[in-house]
Amino acid sequence: MSKLLIKGGRPLRGETEIKAAKNAVLPILAATLLTEEPCEIHNVPVIADVDNMLKILRSVGSAVEFKEGVISVWNRDATGYNVPTELAKELRSSFFLLGPILARHRRAIVAYPGGCDIGVRPLDIHLKGLSEMGIAIEESHGMIYCDGTRLHGADVALDFPSVGATENLMMAAALAKGRTRIFNAAKEPEIVDLQSFLRALGAKVDGAGGDRIEIEGVEKLHGAVYTPIPDRIVAGTILIAGATCGGEVTVTHVVPDHLDALLFKLNKSSCNLRVNGDRITIRSDSRPRHFDKLETQPYPGFPTDLQSQMMVMMCVSEGTGLIVENIFETRYRIVRELIKMGARITVKDRTAVIRGVRSIEGASVSAGDLRGGAALVIAGLKAEGYTTIDNVSHIDRGYDAIERIFASLGGEISRLR
């Protein structure tokens, strides 16, 4: 099992181009199952979650090729409707396949999915919505059996604006008879991107980015060539690293509007930000200043996927600040690792109090989840001395060779095999 070795204390300088968003690519790959015609997805990162999704597509009969950032999918022979348990356990996003498989085959068998252990992420929102669309659902021995012979359009009101549930229902509705309206829909940019891809296939979808999405089912969809939106979380991770470590860093091929909540916070932390088209530059020449409170919320609020990275910055900022985590209750697993490095953090329930220190020290730490692992990389780049990070497989789920990204910006970081 590989580890990352980091020698900290160097400012970061340079620029890096952001690839397609993991959280956009995965549901789009699932949506290719809605058509028998070929699809091409461009600018895709080489990450473990994409690799696992391609394994699942192959397991149901898809012909898949991934070469030089382009994924080609041909689903003419994708007749399978059973997602293998061993693959579903590796990937939370395997549940996205439920909607498109039901839409195409009118039946599906899916295991409860895996992914990062960051707290309870109930699937009942997905299943309740699908049942309102006529799906008969039976749960037994860790498997979900769905009969979609009566799949139809319906009005579905989500109890919480779940991204995954919104995407699942959009895909199921694309080939369902009649009209579906999703109320209290998630508003994330990845939802809008899935709508754009479904439209490229010939689906009739409207309203993504707002509270209500409407889908008029069609009988058949065609293929498409598509480039997903850039990864706002990877871009945000790099910008936070620049703010934490000092120097001047530019991320290119981004959509600045997708990062508004983060940029607002960074502007308050004594960083200099410049936005020019699809480029964002951050310059930090002094110790960051604390902002009083950071509270995670569904989009357009502050993303939970950047909370751990911001915690690292707050650890070395002036003053004391609060983080309130409203999305996932175990996002604070990183705290014990940061305390090893000299951070001063107190946690009670969903609130963390961070008292800034002038410096942190390198240590042997472990990545407990994807975003927490990326945050530990930032901590290692900032810390005095050497840091080793194990369980790097968590980081590899969402970052395309994170060591190469930060080495290209001047960080002393390498992978130990």
Estimate the crossing angle of helix 124-132 against helix 98-105, to 10 degrees.
20
What is the pTM for the complete model shown?
A: 0.96
The confidence score (pLDDT) of residue 92 equals 66
CB 82 within 8 A of CB 102: no
Q: How far apart are CA 254 and CA 243, in angstroms?
A: 18
Q: How far apart are CA 357 and CA 348, in angstroms?
A: 20
Q: How far apart are CA 387 and CA 403, in angstroms?
A: 13
CB 233 within 8 A of CB 299: no
Residue from 85, 90, 97 nearest 116 by CA = 90
% of residues, the chain, pLDDT over 90: 87
Q: Is 271 annotated in the active site? A: no
Q: What is the pLDDT along the chain (417 residues), one digit of tens a residue?
A: 799 999 999 999 999 999 999 999 999 999 999 999 999 999 999 999 999 999 999 999 999 999 999 999 999 999 999 987 877 777 766 788 899 999 999 999 988 765 444 344 468 899 999 999 999 999 888 788 999 999 999 999 999 999 999 999 999 999 999 999 999 999 999 999 999 999 999 999 999 999 999 999 999 999 999 999 999 999 999 999 999 999 999 999 999 999 999 999 999 888 999 999 999 999 999 899 887 899 999 999 999 999 999 999 999 999 999 999 999 777 799 999 999 999 999 999 999 999 999 999 999 999 999 999 999 999 999 999 999 999 999 999 999 999 999 999 999 999 998
Q: How far apart are CA 182 and CA 374, in angstroms?
A: 34
The confidence score (pLDDT) of residue 5 equals 98
Q: How far apart are CA 234 and CA 399, in angstroms?
A: 7
Burial track 156-167 (b if 16+ CB lie within 10 A, e otherwise)? bebeebbbbbbb
Q: How far apart are CA 21 and CA 239, in angstroms?
A: 16
The one catalytic residue in 39, 116, 146, 271 is 116
Task: Catalogue all structural domains in the chain, each as residue range(s) with its CATH number.
Answer: 3-18+230-416 (3.65.10.10), 22-226 (3.65.10.10)
In which element (H, E) is residue 236 found?
A: helix 232-245
- Per residue in 347-369, pLDDT (tens digit) is 999 999 999 999 999 999 999 99
339: its two tokens: 């305390």
Which stretches of 263-359 are assigned E, i.e. beta strand? Answer: 272-276, 279-284, 293-295, 320-324, 344-348, 351-355
HSE-CB at 1 with a 13 A cutoff on CA atoms is 11
The confidence score (pLDDT) of residue 93 equals 66
10: its two tokens: 């160097």
Residue from 313, 321, 314, 312 nearest 340 by CA = 312
Q: How far apart are CA 53 and CA 222, in angstroms?
A: 21
- Per residue in 54-67, pLDDT (tens digit) is 999 999 999 999 99
